[in-house]
Structure 1
Amino acid sequence: MSRNLLADSYISWLKNEVSEEVIDSKVSELTTPFLDRHNDYIQVYAEQQENNSYLLTDDGYITSELRSSGVDGKGSRREELFSEILSGHGVVLEGSELQTKATSDDLGQRLHSLIQAMLSVDDMFVLSQPSIHGLFMDDVANFLEEKNVRYIARAKFSGKSGLDHLADFVIPKSKGAPERIVQVINTPRRDRVQNMLFSVSDTREARANIQFFALINDRKSKITPEIAQAFENYSVKARAWSKREELVDELAA
């Protein structure tokens, strides 16, 4: 299998599946193939401004969704995580909108970052009902700390494509093990996994001697054989959260 097959296939899929509707002479609406937790397509808006610059925004969709899910408490852990996600992707909250600015030179990268921020927030807040007391990201962090695994949370890596990818947890290399990245999958859906595997492939091309792991939340959704095979095909050691102990030795090395 060609080393670039996944990256080429992913980019081709995006190019074919993203649709653009021109709203007026300066604003376009982009509909992506990624689905939110309601199975609606993620949409972003691009507004052309002066000096060959662009404003990219979600038009307030994400914050509206958080409020409707009851996730709007000041000082809460969810709010902290929300801020961490935005900062990691270089996205800011202006009023009720998630925004980032771009030029013609980095328009694709900034669009990618905004979409990734929206997907990350949507994924982290799937379990935002009052009956759920914790967040899966925190569960993973607590697990690593309990097992004395050294890590850096939310580190950014540049891939061969030039796009940036945010790693959930990075474990520094040691005498007995290379650098490791642990990605968290809260909703094991095909589009989320495909998105992660693209980042893995793209980062691996630009960064030698690195291992990838995935911890997948299986509390509500089972991991299908198709998803498990996809991780195996791209040398990502994936485990369901219920089987997380199987990774301890490799992560703590």
Structure 2
Amino acid sequence: MIDEIQSLMEQYLQWLKDKTALKQIDKDWVQVTTPHLDRHNDCLQFYIRKEANGFLLSDDGYIIHDLISSGCSLDSEKRKALLKMTLAGFGVQLDGETLILKASAENFALKKHNFLQAMLAVNDLFYLASPYVANLFYEDVVQWLDHSDIRYTPNIKFTGKSGFDHMFDFVIPKSRKQPERILQTLGNPKKNAIEATVFKWTDSRENRAVNSELFVLLNNSETEVAASAIDALRNYDIEPILWTERSQIVERLVA
């Protein structure tokens, strides 16, 4: 089993390399096009500039501008705090409306990974925010956990076998009745988000207790979640939970 998983991870990393394209757009900036897809099914792009002490990574304001143009207001203090907390988990800063991250030659691979994860996390975090939707999916999950008296620690970072850091939304500590339970929310449970979740769990699970469990809360409030997405998670011993069926796991999370 472990050899099969290792082979799949190596294939995934090779796929990332093969599908990443570089383009010199002027004398200072290089455009990087990745195979990761945003909620429009467009490939995520970011930009790199060489500086005296390393490199500057920038999204050129794409993520924030896209949210605003899609009707997601970032004016409320709650949403500003949520955005800041999400970015801080990856070491990414907000310069006006632009995501930025500084890297050295030594830590470039890790920083680039974290930067992409931050772009994907913010893109997914605000997916449901529109003039017709009052709350973010993440906020709904927090309210549900609190209302259900489920104790948790938010925004936990695990280091994977690859050396990359992976953020998970919530961790419920081990109890006498239940093992460690990790919760990940997917407001937009499309193929790209499912693949990223599978990768970060297979990469980091060896550093957790052998019986640790990952639950993925899938938002099906607006659209139906594809059966293939649910099957993909189960194939890697990840438990998918449809948001409309969340009551089924309350006892396992409270214990």
Measure, in 2, the Cα distance between the counterparts of 1:142 and 1:203: 27
Identical-pair percentage: 38
User: 3-state DSSP class of the match of 1:165?
Assistant: strand
User: 3-state DSSP class of the match of 2:89?
Assistant: helix
Per the alignment, residue 251 of structure 1 pairs with 253
RMSD between superposed Cα atoms in Å: 1.5
TM superposition shift of 1:73:
4.2
Q: For the Cα contact (< 8 Å) 2:68–2:74, is it kept in 1?
A: no
Q: For the Cα contact (< 8 Å) 2:161–2:206, is it kept in 1?
A: yes
Measure, in 2, the Cα distance between the counterparts of 1:99 and 1:61: 11
**After alignment, is 211-220 or 25-34 more displaced?**
25-34
Per the alignment, residue 27 of structure 1 pairs with 29
Measure, in 2, the Cα distance between the counterparts of 1:113 and 1:154: 14
Measure, in 2, the Cα distance between the counterparts of 1:72 and 1:141: 20
Task: Point out where structure 1 has 5 or more consecutive residues left out of the alignment.
Answer: none
Q: For the Cα contact (< 8 Å) 2:38–2:120, is it kept in 1?
A: yes
Structure 1, residues 180-220: CA drift from partner, whole Å, max 9, x if none?
Answer: 11000111111110001000001102223321110000112
Aligned length: 252
TM superposition shift of 1:25:
5.0
Amino acid at match of 2:253: L
Measure, in 2, the Cα distance between the counterparts of 1:147 and 1:220: 23
Q: Are 1:215 and 2:221 matched, yes or no?
A: no
Map 1:83-122 to 2 at 5 A: 83-122=84-123
**After alignment, is 154-163 or 200-209 more displaced?**
200-209
TM superposition shift of 1:66:
2.5
TM superposition shift of 1:49:
1.2
Q: Are 1:199 and 2:200 matched, yes or no?
A: yes
Q: For the Cα contact (< 8 Å) 1:217–1:240, is it kept in 2?
A: yes
Measure, in 2, the Cα distance between the counterparts of 1:65 and 1:112: 21
User: 3-state DSSP class of the match of 1:89?
Assistant: coil
Amino acid at match of 1:77: K
Structure 1, residues 103-125: CA drift from partner, whole Å, max 9, x if none?
Answer: 11111111111111111111122
Measure, in 2, the Cα distance between the counterparts of 1:86 and 1:249: 32
Measure, in 1, the Cα distance between the counterparts of 2:5 and 2:21: 28
Map 1:50-65 to 2 at 5 A: 50-51=52-53, 53-65=54-66
Measure, in 2, the Cα distance between the counterparts of 1:220 and 1:16: 34
User: 3-state DSSP class of the match of 2:193?
Assistant: helix
Q: For the Cα contact (< 8 Å) 1:187–1:221, is it kept in 2?
A: no
Measure, in 2, the Cα distance between the counterparts of 1:164 and 1:113: 7
TM-score by length of 1: 0.94
